[in-house]
């Protein structure tokens, strides 16, 4: 502001005083010590020795569990804070994988409170190493997952409400004309609940699959996932990732069942296969590890869980060279190769059993070479078990798929996925199971790097 004549007005002393007060208040907020920030963090922190003995724990976690620091530090192991089921999972899965990988993130467990209650948590742990890579201690972060558990229960409750409302609507339509308006209103409400539930399930379904496929050096990749019903979580899964500078791992499979239980099994399967591949990328070894994990987790329960899966390792051959593939299967339909010369052939993997059913499973490995112009196709049984014909009583089957691929070959991965997408759309209501498709191929004209694509 200026006075008449252009002379500046004097500064208001009150402005400087208010600014000084704000600076002082802000400075005081930054005076928290690192120890205070650790102890009063909005999540739980603890450090343990390699045998699990608790060496340090913050007040936040102690308050959640209702425990005293003196009764915990040096006297309890991390596993002692868990429920019986959580302790069993920690000893058989969490701790071995942590020792093998060096870190684990976002694992769902339950902790015991001093009053005997259960606290759902998400746990992330990382091993601290010494200068010579010897493990020294484990640092663990604990997040309260009670709201997440309540959210999942709310999803289930809304689904039951929607099904109940739908049943009531069917009965109301059979009644007299007087009740028809009331029944129609109930149907509209049920449909709104169903749409909200479908939106929530779609978000959860997407979280179980990779957002995109990575870029494969000198190769092409394409993928497609068909959801048969928006009301249910599917159990099909796939992944593609590097295991070292020269090799890539890929897998595709299908877990038993649908819904939250299938989603939990899918998450465990994908996580285990990724960890196993980095530990030992041999396909049979990775599936053996998965079989052990699933059987120990579900084999003795009243509701056993299992899956079918194809796991492979590919080694791009560089400019102009063939790509080598090693592949193993656990009860999954055979992979299909579309050759550059117009042939299509299955890649048999005999002896593969369902993963998780038996304590040990005989798993064999097959080898193949992809030359320029060849495409490898993996698929789930939603494709081959699609119901066809006027009465929807016949299954599409592997013979029809082989004939379709033979007529299509040669075809690049994206061209193959696009054609199969049209085929799936043609099944209409005969396609009542989710279907996952993954195609990997060597371009007919090799380039230094070809991007991976996701089919719309």
- For residue 254, the domain's CATH number is 3.60.40.10
Do 117 and 169 reside in the same domain of the chain?
Answer: no
Q: Please list, residue by residue across 286-298, b when 16 or more beta carbons sit within 10 angstroms of its beta carbon and e when fewer do.
A: bbbbbbbbbbebb
Say which range, 33-37, 65-69, 407-411, 429-433, has the weakest mean pLDDT.
33-37
| Distance, CA of 342 to CA of 405 (rounded, Å) | 9
Do 287 and 160 reside in the same domain of the chain?
Answer: no
Dihedral class, residue 397 (left if φ above 0, else alpha if ψ from -120 to 50, else beta): left
Indicate the burial class of 177 (C-beta count within 10 angstroms; 0-12, 13-18, 19 or more). Answer: exposed
Do 289 and 341 reside in the same domain of the chain?
Answer: yes
Do 280 and 376 reside in the same domain of the chain?
Answer: yes
The pLDDT tens digits for 299-342 are: 888 888 899 999 999 999 877 678 999 999 999 999 999 999 99
pLDDT value of position 80? 93
The mean pLDDT of 202-212, rounded to a whole number, is 66
Asked if residue 275 belongs to a domain, the reply is: yes
Boundary (domain end) residue, out of 95, 122, 144: 144
Q: Which CATH number do you get for residue 55?
A: 3.30.450.20
Do 334 and 411 reside in the same domain of the chain?
Answer: yes
Do 360 and 224 reside in the same domain of the chain?
Answer: yes
Do 327 and 365 reside in the same domain of the chain?
Answer: yes
| Distance, CA of 415 to CA of 351 (rounded, Å) | 32
Do 291 and 431 reside in the same domain of the chain?
Answer: yes
| Distance, CA of 235 to CA of 436 (rounded, Å) | 10
Pick from 269, 212, 211, 203: which is nearest to 235 by CA? 269
Asked if residue 158 belongs to a domain, the reply is: yes
Do 90 and 140 reside in the same domain of the chain?
Answer: yes
CB 253 within 8 A of CB 269: yes
| Distance, CA of 202 to CA of 220 (rounded, Å) | 27
Number of domains in the chain: 3
- What is the span of the domain harbouring residue 79? 34-144
Do 363 and 247 reside in the same domain of the chain?
Answer: yes
Do 238 and 357 reside in the same domain of the chain?
Answer: yes
Asked if residue 6 belongs to a domain, the reply is: no
Asked if residue 16 belongs to a domain, the reply is: no
On the CB side of 431, CA atoms within 13 Å amount to 22
pLDDT value of position 449? 44
Asked if residue 348 belongs to a domain, the reply is: yes
Percent of the chain with pLDDT over 70: 86
The pTM of this model reads 0.56
The pLDDT tens digits for 332-382 are: 999 999 999 999 999 988 777 899 999 988 898 999 999 999 999 999 999
Pairing of strands 54-57, 44-49: antiparallel
Do 255 and 120 reside in the same domain of the chain?
Answer: no
CA 391 to chain CA centroid, Å, is 37
């Amino acid at each position: 502001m200026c006075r008449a004549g252009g002379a500046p007005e004097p500064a208001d002393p009150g402005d400087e005083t208010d600014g000084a007060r704000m600076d002082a208040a802000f400075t005081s907020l930054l005076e928290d010590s690192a120890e205070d920030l650790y102890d009063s963090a909005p999540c739980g922190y603890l450090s343990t020795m390699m045998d699990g003995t608790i060496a340090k724990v913050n007040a936040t976690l102690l308050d959640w569990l209702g425990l005293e620091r003196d009764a915990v530090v040096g006297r309890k192991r991390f596993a002692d804070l868990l429920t019986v089921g959580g302790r069993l999972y920690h000893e058989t899965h969490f701790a071995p994988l942590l020792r093998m990988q060096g870190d684990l993130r976002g694992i769902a467990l339950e902790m015991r409170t001093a009053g005997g209650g259960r606290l759902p948590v998400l746990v992330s742990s990382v091993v601290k190493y010494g200068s010579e890579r010897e493990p020294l201690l484990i640092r663990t972060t604990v997040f309260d997952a009670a709201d997440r558990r309540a959210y999942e229960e709310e999803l289930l409750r809304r689904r039951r409400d929607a099904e109940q409302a739908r049943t009531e609507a069917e009965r109301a339509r059979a009644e007299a004309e007087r009740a028809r308006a009331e029944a129609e209103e109930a149907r509209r409400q049920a449909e709104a609940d169903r749409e909200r539930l479908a939106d929530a399930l779609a978000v959860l379904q997407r979280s179980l699959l990779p957002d995109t496929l990575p870029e494969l050096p000198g190769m092409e990749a394409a993928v497609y996932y068909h959801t048969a019903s928006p009301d249910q979580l599917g159990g099909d899964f796939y992944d593609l990732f590097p295991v070292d500078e020269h090799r890539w791992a890929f897998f595709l499979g299908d877990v038993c069942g649908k819904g939250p239980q299938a989603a939990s099994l899918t998450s465990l399967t994908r996580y285990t296969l990724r960890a196993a591949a980095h530990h030992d990328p041999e396909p049979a070894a990775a599936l053996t590890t998965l079989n052990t994990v699933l059987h120990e987790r579900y084999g003795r329960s009243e509701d056993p869980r299992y899956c079918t899966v194809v796991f492979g390792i590919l080694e791009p051959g560089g400019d102009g060279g063939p790509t080598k593939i090693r592949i193993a299967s656990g009860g999954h339909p055979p992979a299909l190769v579309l050759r550059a010369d117009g042939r299509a052939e299955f890649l048999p993997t005999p002896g593969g059993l369902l993963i998780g059913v038996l304590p040990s499973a005989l798993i064999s490995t097959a080898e193949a070479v992809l030359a320029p112009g060849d495409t490898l196709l993996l698929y789930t049984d939603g494709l081959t078990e699609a119901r066809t014909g006027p009465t929807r009583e016949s299954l599409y089957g592997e013979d029809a798929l082989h004939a379709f691929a033979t007529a299509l070959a040669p075809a690049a991965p994206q061209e193959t996925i696009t054609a199969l997408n049209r085929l799936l759309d043609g099944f209409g209501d005969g396609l009542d199971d989710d279907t996952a498709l993954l195609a990997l191929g060597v371009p007919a004209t090799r380039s230094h790097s070809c991007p991976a694509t996701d089919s719309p």
